[in-house]
């Protein structure tokens, strides 16, 4: 099994997100000081339990990281691209019994960011919405015969607050919600064909330039 960190489709989604950020950033007239921002955040990942027919799915809660680049091209609008990683275990229970697969989880997303002007110094709230790809890559632990790496499209929504500590540095708190189809790792018996939800609260730092 190919164990490269990001699948071709995941890499394509990341490239597309970067291109969107670059195009908007270089063609739009920036009306804010220090429009570029790089972020690094620690995240928690909490997946909703899902049932389809006689099969149910759950995932262990885990922690990971989220890297991002954003460009604010007006007082209220911008774009952002992110890459996130964690490792958790996907659990399935059905007429076949129970199966567990540990997998590396890669999150590649791009989003429109709506900045919300407020009359509070050093506080910059925002909302975001976008799309991307989630890559589930089985590890060598909890091996299930026939399991393969799988990519699922996702819808992203969320929001947060940037707190400026200095002109170029600050703290970010954020909530992201990801909506996608439950992975089955190309195994028919694990297929639920159901939508699930991943809650991803996070906190981290950013640098503006």
pLDDT in tens, 100-157: 999 999 999 999 999 999 989 999 999 999 999 999 999 988 878 889 999 999 999 9
137: exposed, middle or buried (Cβ count in 10 Å: 0-12, 13-18, 19+): buried
> Using 50, 70 and 90 to split pLDDT, how confident is the model at 33?
confident
Residue 73 confidence (pLDDT) above 60: yes
Query: So what's the pLDDT on residue 25?
Result: 46
Q: Please, what are the domains in the chain?
A: 8-208 (2.40.160.20)
Residue 14 has pLDDT above 80, yes or no: no
What pLDDT shows up at residue 200? 98
C-alpha to C-alpha distance for 68 and 81, rounded to whole angstroms: 6
Average per-residue pLDDT for the chain: 88
CA 185/CA 194 separation, integer angstroms: 14
Report pLDDT for 15: 53
Q: What is the pLDDT, as a whole number, of residue 138?
A: 95
Which residue, 176, 175, 160, 157, is CA-closest to 126?
A: 160
CA nearest neighbour of 154 among 120, 123, 178: 178
Taking the CA atoms of 89, 85, 169 and 125 in sequence, report the sign of the dihedral they define: negative
pLDDT at 140: 86
Distance separating alpha carbons of residues 112 and 114, to the nearest angstrom: 7
Lowest-confidence region among 10-19, 28-37, 108-117, 157-166: 10-19
Q: How confident is the model at residue 177 (pLDDT cuts 50, 70, 90)?
A: very high
pLDDT digits (tens, 9 = 90+) for 186-208: 999 899 999 999 999 999 999 99
Per the CB < 8 A criterion, the answer to whether 107 and 177 are in contact is: no
State residue 57's pLDDT score: 96
Whether the pLDDT of residue 19 is over 60: the answer is no
* Cβ neighbours around 122 below 10 Å, total: 11
């Amino acid at each position: 099994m190919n164990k490269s960190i990001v699948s071709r489709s995941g890499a394509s989604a990341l490239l597309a997100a970067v291109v969107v950020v670059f195009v908007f950033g270089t063609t739009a007239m920036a009306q804010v000081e220090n429009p570029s921002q790089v972020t690094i955040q620690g995240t928690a990942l909490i997946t909703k339990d899902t049932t389809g027919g006689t099969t149910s799915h759950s995932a262990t809660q885990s922690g990971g990281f989220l890297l991002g680049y954003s460009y604010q091209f007006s007082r209220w609008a911008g774009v952002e691209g992110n890459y996130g990683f964690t490792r958790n275990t996907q659990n399935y229970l059905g007429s076949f019994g129970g199966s567990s697969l540990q997998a590396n989880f890669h999150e590649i997303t791009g989003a429109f960011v709506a900045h919300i002007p407020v009359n509070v110094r050093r506080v910059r709230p925002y909302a975001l919405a976008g799309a991307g790809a989630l890559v589930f890559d089985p590890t060598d632990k909890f091996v299930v015969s026939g399991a393969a790496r799988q990519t699922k499209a996702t819808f992203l929504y969320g929001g947060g607050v940037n707190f400026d500590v200095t002109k170029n540095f600050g703290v970010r708190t954020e909530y992201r919600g990801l909506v996608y189809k439950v992975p089955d790792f190309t195994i028919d018996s694990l297929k639920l064909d159901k939508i699930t939800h991943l809650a991803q609260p996070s906190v981290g730092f950013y640098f503006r330039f």
